[in-house]
Amino acid sequence: MHNIDMQAAQARTSKQVAAIRLDSFDVIEPHLLEPWLILGMGTTLYSGDNGIGKSATALWTAARVTKGTCSGELQEPANVLLLLSEDAPGIIRPKLEALHADMSRVYVVVCTQPGETAIEGTTYLQLPRQGKELEALIASNHIRLMILDALADCFEHPDINKTENVAPVLTFLNHLSSKYGMAVIGIHHTNKNLLDGAKNAVRGSKAFTDKSRQVVSFIKTDDAYGFQVTKSNFMEGAPAWHYTLESAPTSTPGKTTGIISTPIPDDDLDVDREMRKSANLEEDRQSSAGEVIDWLTDYLREGAAPFNDIWAAAKEEGYSKVQLRNAQHRASNPCIESIADPTYSGRGQRRIWRLSNSVHPSPDTQMNTNEHKSETVAAVGETISNQLVFTSDTNTNEHKSETQAAVGETNTSQLLLTEDMRSNENKSYSLNLDHVEPVVVDDILAGYRKKLAADPSALDAKLPRMSPVTLEMLTQHGGLLKQLADREFQRRADSFTSAS
């Protein structure tokens, strides 16, 4: 290397550009921290969907670095630096403790404003603007593994679809990796485009894969979790591994946390194939939904039919009750509406489905009244955890609400405000699931069954507030729900008879 050093020195002092013979450079061999993780050679991108073990795999390696037990070249205990934007340090700590990491070797970046304590500061930086501060931390703490979770949150410019925002950050991280001989892991998410393979599924600019020296793509298969090296500047082939997600005890008695098992080489795993399979399944599912709508529409062209008759015919075709209800809810041009059967005079209520040319299903006529029933749907955020249905008694104009109707029974809900103009019945039902999406209804009823298993009287206060339509839904699910609905129908019939 003497010749190259001399030429480089001359170029620096004379500020000239030099052409140096290629054979003057030493051949660089791959350096590995783990079989899938390069050391001192640039950034490794961990890419995958949420909840499939990207962060857990990175922490598994972090624990091994602190103990000097990695399978690659770093055999002595070394220090780890974490930049955290998704999970707080207090969440990460028990995971590393469960992996028996040497916690004295794990550092977290903390950025504070004047007057803030370390606890109040942010635990990630904005790059490249704070690059000098990051490099100083790496140098002073002798860091050999740095994890950025999530990588995109460490960008000074938030638009990750622009190459000019992404490329400089990854180039800088590659430089730090080479200069300090450390491994760099950037945790990143995939987009919804799975058909074009793992590298093209990386969210944001193509610079994420172009500028990362290595890409490890994560996937959930039918029976396990796995990852594969889908891009490498240094490796031949595309080695893959599988693992499981496990619970491990923490230092707090009775508490556990999620970790991964030791990854096992898997010659049969192909992440591209699994992603395409997943995308095709989703496409098949959407096609299946359209197929059920077509079948249901054709069935009803012969005339309106009771739900139970439709359900019996659907079972013969291999369709589930959930598919059937989803089809009824999503059908358009024509719509499919559910109304009370005007010819039925038995106990309770029987529903019939029929085609409608209206944009939305016509007003419910279950109370045999010409009064209009209005429904207002209000979006209350994307993560509301309650299904609340409110109705108003027209005699008092006072709104009655049941705020505990479905707390914790579904994670994705709507807030429906309904006003029933019932001139023939002086009652207000604050639990009316008639116009709620079928999948959500099933979640709510599943929650009811769980409550009843613990306490058979759990629904006693709710039953009198349930509309006839809602009670009919309970009867269709059978078991204790049907018994309770039948009992409530009988109670109302007895009450009506007594009043008469």
One domain for residues 250 and 331: no
Residues 6+ apart with CB under 8 A from 34: 61, 64, 70, 71, 72
Q: Identify the pLDDT of residue 227.
A: 95
Q: Identify the pLDDT of residue 236.
A: 80
Q: Identify the pLDDT of residue 469.
A: 75
Question: Cα separations (Å) of 34 from 52, 62, 105, 261?
Answer: 19, 11, 19, 15
Question: Cα separations (Å) of 148 from 109, 151, 173, 359?
Answer: 10, 5, 10, 49
Strand boundaries in 208-318, DSSP class E: 214-220, 225-232, 240-243, 245-249, 256-260, 264-265, 305-306
Q: Identify the pLDDT of residue 131.
A: 95
Instruction: Decide: residue 302, CB within 10 A, 0-12 exposed, 13-18 middle, 19+ buried.
Output: exposed
Does 237 fall in a domain? yes
One domain for residues 19 and 38: no
Q: Identify the pLDDT of residue 392.
A: 34
One domain for residues 262 and 288: no
Does 481 fall in a domain? yes
One domain for residues 156 and 296: no
One domain for residues 310 and 410: no
Does 369 fall in a domain? no
Q: Among 328, 325, 354, which Cα is nearest to 341's? A: 354
Does 276 fall in a domain? no
Task: Evaluate the CA torsion angle 120, 121, 124, 127 in order and state its sign.
Answer: positive
Counting other chains too, the contacts that 204-208 makes at CB distance below 8 Å and 24 or more residues apart are 204/152, 204/160, 204/161, 204/166, 205/160, 205/161, 205/162, 205/163, 205/165, 205/166, 205/167, 206/163, 207/163, 207/166, 207/167, 207/170, 208/45, 208/47, 208/160, 208/166, 208/170
One domain for residues 402 and 307: no
Q: Among 433, 416, 493, 430, which Cα is nearest to 469's? A: 433
One domain for residues 112 and 251: yes
Using the structure block, give the residue that is written with the tokens 């949150």. Answer: 153
One domain for residues 407 and 323: no
Range of 387's domain?
Answer: 374-500
Q: How far apart are CA 220 and CA 25, in angstroms?
A: 42
Q: Identify the pLDDT of residue 58.
A: 97
Does 159 fall in a domain? yes
Q: How far apart are CA 296 and CA 213, in angstroms?
A: 52
End residue of a domain, out of 269, 298, 333: 269
CATH number at residue 64: 3.40.50.300
Does 178 fall in a domain? yes
Q: Identify the pLDDT of residue 155.
A: 94
One domain for residues 168 and 49: yes
One domain for residues 442 and 485: yes
Does 125 fall in a domain? yes
When divided into structural domains, the chain yields a total of 4
One domain for residues 110 and 8: no
Does 275 fall in a domain? no
- Does the N-terminal peptide bond of residue 150 adopt cis geometry, omega within 30 degrees of 0? yes
Q: In the chain, which residues have pLDDT < 70?
A: 1-15, 192-196, 279-289, 347-349, 358-430, 432, 434-440, 477, 493-500
Q: Identify the pLDDT of residue 358.
A: 58
End residue of a domain, out of 338, 362, 386: 362
CATH number at residue 320: 1.10.10.10
Q: Identify the pLDDT of residue 377.
A: 33
One domain for residues 194 and 331: no
End residue of a domain, out of 223, 245, 269: 269
